[in-house]
């Protein structure tokens, strides 16, 4: 029997909650100042059968190659072969499920990532009844991103390649002898503004305001009207995205809670050989690790957003109690006690 692709052995885990999950993209404005994010949300059952492509454009392969210090031609071939056919378990442009008030999460990705790379986390949250806005940052911390410079007309731009109306932005590496803090601080300020701008936009949609999607995707945004619980808004992030979450919390009081997630999607898609090369895998099974992380996050969110769910069953994980959980930190921190003078 002919073997299937590697996605049969390795795949992004499905959400474990009671809701079906859909996703779509939204890009506003024909400038770099516009918002760009992937939306994960509870969807109507059977609303779509179309699979969602995990990495939607080949330009992202080029960006990942740059970030990992690979030649672009080699990297593009490598990523196309290993993950080019990978889909994530959310239905593309599936109809949103109205009739409830859902808590909202704004999600910020880490360095070298982009809006689709944390779908395992975002899909799990959506399956548990959250609306998740996964922002794609344009501060040159993404491995790649883009915007439209002008109105592209009626073409389906998300399927286009080498489009002259698109401006691609790739990861900016530190220059030789350049200090890292000024660059990261500048990026952090921009990321924070992008998270707040995304929040403003999704709340405008919640209020029934019309939105123009530059990508011309077939999704009915009007179904989101009055579907967000505006008293329960959180910001989440991984790595540099965690720093973004903390900074965003300090600048906008609408956000009530934050949490640092641990794993991007690559850990589920790489075998042992590839995982060791790129340090994508730890010693623990990634499905066990993400399950622990997601449960702890849900317990944290219930506590700080005041949700009436059963996520408090995992409160012990937040306190560092449970199998494969380390209380406190496993990092050696410098002593805070002053040295004695002799």
**Tens-place pLDDT, residues 6-47:** 334 468 999 999 999 999 999 999 999 999 999 999 999 887
* Residues 176-181: contacts with CB under 8 Å, at least 24 apart: none
- At 164-179, the pLDDT tens digits run 789 999 999 999 999 9
Q: What pLDDT score was predicted for residue 59?
A: 96
Residue 253 within any structural domain of the chain? yes
Residue 294 burial (CB < 10 Å; 0-12/13-18/19+)? buried
- Indicate the range of 43-52, 162-171, 317-326 predicted with least confidence: 317-326
Q: What percent of the chain has pLDDT over 90?
A: 59
**Sheet architecture: strand order including 257-260:** 51-53, 87-92, 20-27, 36-43, 131-135, 102-108, 228-237, 257-260
- Indicate the range of 48-57, 94-103, 212-221, 331-340 predicted with least confidence: 331-340
Residue range 74-93: mean pLDDT, rounded: 93
Helix (H) or strand (E) holding 248: helix 240-251
- At 140-165, the pLDDT tens digits run 999 999 999 887 554 444 444 567 78
Q: What pLDDT score was predicted for residue 3?
A: 38
Residue 91: strand pairing partners: 22, 51
CATH of the domain at 225: 3.40.50.1820
Comparing 339 with 324, which gets the higher pLDDT?
324
Q: What pLDDT score was predicted for residue 2?
A: 37
Residue 147 within any structural domain of the chain? yes
Q: What pLDDT score was predicted for residue 183?
A: 96
CB contact burial 183-210 (16+ within 10 A = b; e otherwise): bbeebbebbbebbbbbbebbeebbeeee
Q: What pLDDT score was predicted for residue 199?
A: 97
Q: What pLDDT score was predicted for residue 26?
A: 98
Domain count, the chain: 1
Residue range 217-236: mean pLDDT, rounded: 95
Question: What is the DSSP secondary-structure string of 143-190?
Answer: SEEEEESS--TTS-GGG-SS-TTEEEEEPPPPPTT--HHHHHHHHHHH
- Residue-number span of the structural domain to which 250 is assigned: 6-318
Q: For residue 312, what is the DSSP state?
A: G
Q: For residue 12, what is the DSSP state?
A: P
Residue 331 within any structural domain of the chain? no
Residue 92: strand pairing partners: 23
CB contact burial 93-120 (16+ within 10 A = b; e otherwise): bbbbbeeeebbbbbbbbbbbbbbbbbbb
**Residue tagged 């996605």 (tokens):** 7
Q: What pLDDT score was predicted for residue 255?
A: 86
Cβ atoms 102, 61 nearer than 8 A: no
- At 85-144, the pLDDT tens digits run 999 999 999 999 999 999 999 999 999 999 999 999 999 999 999 999 999 999 999 999
Residue 287 within any structural domain of the chain? yes
Q: What pLDDT score was predicted for residue 56?
A: 94
- Give the alpha-carbon dihedral of 291, 295, 298, 302, to 10 degrees: 170
Residue range 234-262: mean pLDDT, rounded: 82
Helix (H) or strand (E) holding 127: helix 119-127
pLDDT at 74 over 80: yes
Q: What pLDDT score was predicted for residue 209?
A: 97
The mean pLDDT value of the chain amounts to 84
Q: What pLDDT score was predicted for residue 11?
A: 85
Residue 65 within any structural domain of the chain? yes
Task: Take residue 127 and report the two structure tokens written for it.
Answer: 């399956």
147/166 Cα distance (integer angstroms)? 6
Residue 163 within any structural domain of the chain? yes
Q: At what angle do helices 286-305 and 119-127 cross, to 10 degrees?
A: 50
Residue 338 within any structural domain of the chain? no
The 10 Å Cβ neighbour count of residue 245 is 27
pLDDT at 193 over 90: yes
Cβ atoms 55, 61 nearer than 8 A: yes
Q: What pLDDT score was predicted for residue 333?
A: 56
- Indicate the range of 126-140, 286-300, 322-336 predicted with least confidence: 322-336
Separation of CA 209 from chain center: 25
Residue 93 within any structural domain of the chain? yes
Radius of gyration in angstroms for the set of CA atoms belonging to the chain, rounded to a whole number: 20
């Amino acid at each position: 029997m002919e073997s299937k692709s590697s996605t049969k052995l390795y795949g992004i885990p499905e959400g474990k909650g009671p809701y079906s999950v859909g996703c779509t993209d939204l890009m506003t404005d024909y400038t770099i100042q516009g918002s760009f994010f992937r939306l994960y949300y509870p969807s109507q059952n059977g609303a779509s059968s179309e699979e969602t492509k995990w990495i939607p454009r080949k330009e992202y392969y080029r960006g990942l190659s740059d970030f990992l210090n690979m030649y672009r031609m080699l990297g593009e071939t490598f990523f196309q072969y290993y993950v080019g056919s990978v889909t994530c378990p959310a239905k593309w442009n599936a109809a949103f499920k109205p009739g409830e008030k859902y808590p909202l999460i704004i999600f910020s990705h880490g360095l070298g990532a982009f809006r689709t790379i944390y779908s395992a986390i975002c899909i799990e949250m959506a399956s548990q009844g959250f609306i998740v806005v996964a922002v794609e940052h344009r501060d040159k911390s993404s491995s790649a991103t883009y915007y439209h410079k002008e109105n592209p007309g009626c073409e389906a731009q998300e399927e286009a390649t080498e489009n002259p109306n698109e401006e691609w932005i790739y990861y900016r590496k530190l220059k030789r002898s350049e200090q890292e803090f000024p660059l990261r601080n500048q990026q952090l300020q921009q990321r924070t503004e992008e998270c707040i701008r995304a929040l403003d936009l999704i709340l405008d949609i919640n209020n029934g305001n019309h939105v123009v999607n530059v990508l011309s995707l077939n999704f009915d945004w009007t179904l989101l009207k009055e579907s967000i619980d505006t008293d329960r808004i959180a910001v989440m992030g991984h790595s540099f995205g965690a720093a973004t979450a903390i900074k965003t919390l300090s600048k906008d009081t609408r956000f009530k809670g934050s949490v640092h997630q641990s794993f991007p999607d690559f850990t589920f898609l790489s075998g042992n050989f590839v995982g060791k090369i790129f340090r994508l895998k730890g010693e623990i099974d990634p499905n066990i690790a993400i399950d622990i992380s997601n449960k702890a996050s849900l317990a944290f969110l219930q506590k700080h957003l005041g949700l009436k769910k059963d996520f408090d069953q995992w409160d012990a994980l937040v306190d560092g109690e449970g199998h494969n959980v380390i209380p406190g930190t496993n990092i050696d921190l410098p002593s805070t006690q002053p040295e004695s003078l002799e």
